[in-house]
Structure 1
Amino acid sequence: MSAVLADPVNAALNAALPVAGGWPLLNPMPDDEPITPDAFPFHALGPILGAAARAIAHDVQAPDSLAGGSVLAAAGLASSPLANVYLPHGQRAPLSLFVVTGAGSGDRKSAVDAVACHEIEETRKQQARDYSKQLQDYEQDMAARKGPKESEPTKPAPKSITTGNATIEGISKLLKFQASIGVFSAEGGEMLGGHSMRDERRQSGLAFYLKGWSGESLDSLRGGEGLTVLLGRRISMHVLVQPVLLRQLLTDPLAQGQGLLARCLIAEPDTLAGTRLYRHVNPHENRDVIAYNERIRRLLETPPNFWPDGDGHELKPRDLRLNAEAQAIWVAFHNQVEVQQKNGDELEGARPFASKAAEHAARIAGVITMIDEPYAVQIGAEAMEGAIEITAFYLNEHLRLTGAGRQERQAGNLRELHAWMQRVGPMVLKKDVLQKSPRRIGRKASSLNPLLKELADRGYIREVGGEWEVRDV
């Protein structure tokens, strides 16, 4: 974060050095230099996930958070049917993760996904083959049937561990016959621009995903189908999207207002294009990737627990509790993030995401634990510390990509006020600043006075009685 407040030493020096027209030497506003993303903390993912993500990034020559997010999303999908994290205040949170990564054409999104989601894709293909065979057998049985209607064989239900471009109605139909699903797409425009996310349907589409993230019941009432109530289901999300579509999502007031962005782990790494000289390696043969795939496969093959009186697909995941040390670390992180959300502090403009940061950390810690110890019942300090470091990475990315950082907001407000005064000037009544300046800045003296003072200290404006004179620059 770059400082934006005027340097008092320079301001005093400038005031003593008048130039043409009596104006002081101009102290330019800070440049709008893009803030580079932090490095993705591979080590924080633990020995299996971290090593695999680092290997994929190296062998595919892909951006770090692209590989890290893909591995984390795959692990979350494999883990979420098996366990919940039991938070210190008694809330159970699913291990479902919503990971959204922005990367341009040629940044090897599909190549990364092919490695990170290999076992998931193999499971999806096998489910498709099984369904095709079951449907063929059903059709043959129906053709040969001679008995009464009551003896008709049951039509097989389709199953798919992932879907890339389904409506919420389609996802609901799949979840009638399976316990969990991943909305996974290496071309995120399919999901973000799909039928359920179009303008006229976006509100219900977003509400559906919010319930899925929280593990709530998925209810629908439609003509012809009646009432459907799906309990104990899990929805994960992994979307790789073009930067232009990511910008649309980040600025969508409905996605912000309903809370989808607060539930997503969003990153946009810098491109590596121009640095990727040919490397004769097969990432699938890397021993760290092989070890990771074996663990993902093991989780996918582990039968989940179901409620005995449920519909046959209502999950009853075991609890992952925080041990004493992990709980102390989690509570300290929760309190640290909470304090930084107060007015004027660093996370004031990112409260929706920051308020969920502690839960994000707990979920990630649970996923790391499941990968490292598939039958664990406790989350330890090392997993929690790593999860907090990963959450901090995504919190910084959220601040960077949404411009929600206090200093970035201050700089933006400063430029917006100056641009407005230039349009209105060269003389601007002080009362007009309070009554007519851009609403986004806040038409209050407490918001405007620090900005006016800085513009004056930098030599952009000066007081002339009841007006501000705007410098011609």
Structure 2
Amino acid sequence: MNDNIEFPIDLMPPRIRDAIEAQAAMGNYHLPSVATAALAIASHAAQGLYDIDFLARPSTVPASVFAMICAPSGSAKSSLFEPMLAGVRQWQHRVSDVHRLSLADYEVDRRLYERQRLAAEKENDRDTLIDLERRKPRPPRSPQNVSSKITTNGLFRSLHEDWPTHAVFTPEGASLLKGYSLNAKNAPEEFGGALASLWSGEMIDRTTGDQRMILRARRLSMLVMVQGSVAEEFLSSEALEGQGLLARFLVVNAPAWHPLDEDFTAPDHREQKERLLRRMDRFHGRIDQMLSEPLAMRDGQDGELDLPIMTWTREAAQVMRSFQTEALAWNHSETENWFRRSFEHAVRLSGVLAIFEDEEAISEATARAGVALTRFYAAQLRQMDVAPINERHAQYHQYIAPALKKFRASPNGLTMRELYRTIWKKLDPDHRGRILETMERDELITKVKVRKGTNEIVVYRLREGE
């Protein structure tokens, strides 16, 4: 499989394509990163409307997408995708106005309920008390179904008490991926397991103290922007390896961002900006419209989704059948689980686009777009080193072990040249570089600059404790 695949912007639906191109042009942003943000936002709006026929087996999958944008520090992370959230913000503002009115009604109903309950208790009127409990007023759902930071408890509480669909959109992913819930002392497996279960649409049964939450048919989408080193550490975490989180993320690698050299004194500068903003209006309007559609709930089960199924046209199913054969042949030892799920990623991406386009069934064009997107994200992932540390060690163990022995015998350190001309002299140059990168990443060695005469050279030294 070719690792240098361009983002398939020409296959995107017109409203999404216009928004992506306009936002990328607005600030000279990396187009695949902007596109990934747009897809995550569309997934958030779509996941509460339909589940998607999986095709490969008699079941469905959610329209939920987990996306990660790996960008260097100082890459204008907030401004890259915050304007894309305008449709979500429009919906939130409107729902907030309704929420304020509903909250006033709830407060009046609650006070009346309390008075009636106290009177019934005074009279020992059991029948009235039972009737009152059945009609006990409930507070209205919070209009916030998007978070930038969240803990395990906060996520569960939001899905239990507020909306059954949620999204985590954060430009500062390090605070999430290295934060409280994923800190080693706070059982990161629990949070990782929750994310994996929600992505898969599985039931969550959680007991904390006296409270028990059973969350059925809830949905979660994610968009996390983070530095590449943090992403690789998170996706390679041995503690989270069992949850298979890597297999659930669509990852894009962004280059360093460079701001535009704009002539804001030009007479038509403002007009150009306004023209770009107008190109995004149709995308925002559709997101707002999707979020405004009533959620299909199971009868008698407040908060539990009961979604219709997005199906496929015959032509679209044929496209997916061809891709299934292709995907089964894909193999990449360090990211094997992701490639095993590549067909499911194509199903989800096709479904999100079809729901956004309000298709009755997934069309051939939409299926081709979903497949092309999956090929792109597969190529992006192959460019990352995200194998768990123990697997990386196993892959290069026969070369790392003698290198560590030589480092221990060289307290002043070794240059790359000294390593390449001795123990690794028969190795391919690409493998030499990867072994050094692996040893650095796993904190076996450290790289320092030292002065030798009038020259400054790079020396690798054994880390303390190794």
Q: If the TM-score is normalised by the length of the shorter chain, which range does it land in?
A: 0.7 to 0.9
Residue 210 of structure 2 corresponds to residue 224 of structure 1: yes
Give unpaired runs (5+ residues) of structure 1.
Answer: 3-34, 342-346, 426-450, 461-473
- 1:81 counterpart = 2:48: yes
Per-residue CA shift, 1:133-179, capped at 9, x if unaligned?
Answer: 54456557767988333677544443422112122222222222322
Q: 1:85 touches 1:363 (CA, 8 Å); kept in 2? A: yes
> Counterparts of 1:325-340 in structure 2 under 5 Å?
325-340=315-330
Which residue of structure 2 aligns with residue 212 of structure 1? 198
Task: Compute the displacement of 1:302 (Å).
Answer: 1.4
Distance change (3 Å), C-alpha of 1:264 and 1:452: same
- Which of 240, 246, 251 is the aligned partner of 1:266? 251
- Paired residue secondary structure (1:196): coil
Please tell me whether the aligned partners of residues 19 and 279 of structure 2 are also in contact (alpha carbons under 8 angstroms): yes
Equivalent residue, structure 2, for 1:282 = 273
Contact kept in structure 2, 1:175 and 1:233, CA below 8 Å: yes
| Counterpart among 363, 374, 399 of residue 382 in structure 2 | 399
Q: Secondary structure at the match of 2:280?
A: helix
Q: Quote how far apart the aligned CAs of 1:253 are.
A: 2.2
CA apart distance, 1:420: 5.1
Equivalent residue letter for 1:54:
E
The answer on whether the counterparts of 1:255 and 1:261 sit within 8 Å (CA) in structure 2 is: no
TM-score scaled to structure 1, two decimals?
Answer: 0.73
- Structure 1 residue identity aligned to 2:363: G
1:97–1:454 Cα change, 3 Å: same
Q: TM-score, normalised by structure 2?
A: 0.74
Report the Cα distance in structure 1 between the residues aligned to 2:94 and 2:324, rounded to whole angstroms: 42
Q: SS state of the match for residue 12, structure 2? A: helix
CA offset at residue 108 of structure 1? 2.4
Listed one character per residue, the Cα deviations across residues 420-473 of structure 1 (whole Å, up to 9, x for unaligned) are 556658xxxxxxxxxxxxxxxxxxxxxxxxx99954999x9xxxxxxxxxxxxx
The corresponding residue for 2:287 is: 296
Partner Cα distance (2:341, 2:274) in 1: 35
CA distance in 1, matches of 2:73, 2:405: 42
**2:10 matched to 1:43?**
yes
**Aligned: 1:72 with 2:31:** no
Alignment partners' CA distance in 2, 1:319 and 1:114: 31
Q: Which residue of 1 aligns with 2:361?
A: 378
CA displacement 1:28-71 (0-9 Å, x = unmatched): xxxxxxx9x75422223222212211221111211112201110
**In 2 relative to 1, CA 456–392 (structure 1 residues): closer, same or farther, beyond 3 Å?**
closer
Q: What does 1:22-421 align with in structure 2 at a 5 Å threshold?
A: 38-88=5-55, 89-132=57-100, 134-135=102-103, 138-139=106-107, 147-149=115-117, 154-176=138-160, 177-199=162-184, 200-225=186-211, 227-273=212-258, 276-277=261-262, 280=269, 281-282=272-273, 286-309=277-300, 311-341=301-331, 347-372=332-357, 374=358, 376-402=359-385, 421=402
* CA contact 2:27–2:259 (8 Å) conserved in 1: no
Whole-angstrom CA distance in 2 between matches of 1:141 and 1:231: 29
**Distance (whole Å) between structure 1 residues aligned to residue 372 and residue 428 of structure 2:** 41
Aligned-partner Cα distance in 2 for 1:396–1:69: 14
CA distance in 2, matches of 1:453, 1:419: 14
Aligned residue-pair number: 387
Consecutive unaligned residues of structure 2, counting only runs of 5 or more, are 119-131, 407-422, 433-466
Q: Distance in 2 between matches of 1:456 and 1:303?
A: 59
Distance (whole Å) between structure 2 residues aligned to residue 272 and residue 165 of structure 1: 24
Task: Indicate if the aligned counterparts of 2:88 and 2:284 stay in contact, CA closer than 8 A.
Answer: no
State the Cα deviation string for residues 81-129 of structure 1 (Å, max 9, x = none): 1111102221201100001112234322212222211111233344445
8 Å contact 1:159–1:174 — kept in the other structure?
no
SS of the residue aligned with 1:211?
helix
Instruction: Output the CA distance in 2 between the equivalents of 1:335 and 1:40.
Output: 22
Q: 1:48, 1:166 → 2: CA distance?
A: 31
Aligned 8 A contact 1:63 1:107 in 2: no
Q: Secondary structure at the match of 1:228?
A: strand
The verdict on how the C-alpha distance between 1:154 and 1:456 changes in structure 2, with shifts beyond 3 A counting, is closer
- Secondary structure at 1:71 match in 2: helix
Equivalent residue runs for 1:3-18 within 5 Å: none
- Cα RMSD (Å) of the superposition? 3.4
CA distance in 2, matches of 1:45, 1:141: 49
Distance 1:330 1:76 in 2: 20
Distance 1:340 1:453, change over 3 A: farther
CA distance in 2, matches of 1:362, 1:146: 50
Inter-CA distance 231–388: structure 2 relative to 1 (3 Å threshold) = same
Between the aligned partners of 2:171 and 2:60, the Cα distance in structure 1 is 30
State the Cα deviation string for residues 267-290 of structure 1 (Å, max 9, x = none): 121123165545644368534311
Letter in 1 for 2:297: F
CA distance in 1, matches of 2:87, 2:152: 25
Provide the C-alpha distance between the structure 1 equivalents of 2:29 and 2:261, rounded to a whole number of angstroms. Answer: 9
